[in-house]
Amino acid sequence: MKFSATFLSLALLLAGSVEAASHVNRGHWRRTGPSAVYNEPTPVGPEGPGETPPTTPTQPTDGAGSGKRGLEYNDASLTHLFTSPQFTWAYNWDSTPGGSLPSGVTFFPMLWDSSTDHTNSWSTNAAAAIAAGATHLLAFNEPDLGSQANMSPTDAANAWRTYMEPFHGSATLVSPAVTNGGTPLGVAWMSAFLAACSDCHIDKIAIHIYDSATNIAYFQSYIQSVYAQFNKPIMLTEFGASGSTAQQQTFLTQMMAWLDSQSYVTHYAYFFVSNGILVSGNSLSALGTTYNAQ
C-alpha cells in the first residue's frame, strides 16, 4: 500500500472522534470514518494503463467558487454551522435527511446498498426527496469494499435496474461511489459495473479519494484519469487528506480552487461534518473554517 502509515493515522483520528463513535449504534450505514484500505491504482485512460490521460476541459474561475460544495453528515444540526453560499447540496448516506439543512442546501438521497433495510423505503423516500427539490439520486456506497455496501458489479447492476432506473427522467442518476483502491476495487469495479449495466441510464460517476495532504497531484491526476476513462461528469462524494492541520488546510484551499475550475466535476464533499473533523464542539474546526470559505 502506498500510504498505509499516513492513512492509518487519518482513519484512527476519524474513527476515534466522539461524534463518529456516537453514531455507531444509530445505524450501520452511517459513516464513522473512511474505509481503511486503499491502494493507489495505475491511472487508466483511453490509451491504456500507465498512459497519461488526455487534457481535460476546464472552466474559468473567478475565485468566488462554483456552488459545487457539499456537506456530508450524520447529524443534520451540525450542517447549520456552515454558512458559505458555496454549499448547495448535502447527503448523509441515507434516503431521508434526518433533520433540517441550511437554507439553499438541497438533500440528495442515497440508496446505501440493496438490503431490505434500505430498499423497502427507497422508492417512497426518493420520490419525496425529488418533490422537495432533490435533483440527484446517489447509488451504493463503496460496493467494492466488503466493509461497506459489498456488492458485485453484477449484483449492483441488477439492483440499479430495480431501484434506480425507475427514476430515469425524474432526477440525475449517480453511479455507485467507489474507492480509489487498486484492482479489483475502484475503477476496475466501476468498469465491470458499467459493462454489466450497459442498458442503464447512469448520468454521473461518483468516486472517493483518500491520500496524503502533501500529494495533491495524485488527487488531481486520479480525477482526470477517471473522467478520461468514463467520459461522464464526476461527483467527488468523499475525499480526505491526512497530515497536520496546516497541511490539510493548504491542501483543501488548493483542492477546492482546482475542483471549482474543472467543468466536468459537478459536485464535491470533504469528509466530513463531524466533531473532531470539520467541527469542534459547537463551532467549526480550523479545517471546517477553511472548508466554509466564501
| pLDDT of 151 | 97
The answer to whether the beta carbons of residues 239 and 208 sit under 8 Å apart is: yes
Q: Which residues of 63-72 are buried (b: 16+ CB within 10 A; e: fewer)?
A: eebbbbbbbb
Per-residue pLDDT tens digits of the chain, which is 294 residues long: 222 323 333 443 343 333 333 322 223 345 555 555 444 433 333 223 333 333 334 333 333 457 999 999 999 999 999 999 999 999 999 999 999 999 999 999 999 999 999 999 999 999 999 999 999 999 999 999 999 999 999 999 999 999 999 999 999 999 999 999 999 999 999 999 999 999 999 999 999 999 999 999 999 999 999 999 999 999 999 999 999 999 999 999 999 999 999 999 999 999 999 999 999 999 999 999 999 998
| pLDDT of 163 | 99
| pLDDT of 36 | 52
| pLDDT of 60 | 33
- Judge if the upstream peptide bond of residue 176 is cis by omega within 30 degrees of 0: no
The full set of domain ranges for the chain reads 4-26+68-291
| pLDDT of 30 | 52
For 4-26+68-291, CATH number out of 3.40.50.300, 1.10.10.10, 3.20.20.80, 1.10.1040.10 equals 3.20.20.80
The DSSP element (H or E) to which 232 belongs, if any, is none
pTM given for the model: 0.82
| pLDDT of 31 | 54
| pLDDT of 66 | 78
**Beta-bridge partners for 137:** 173
| pLDDT of 54 | 37
Give CA separation, 64 vs 34, 147, 205, in Å: 29, 38, 25
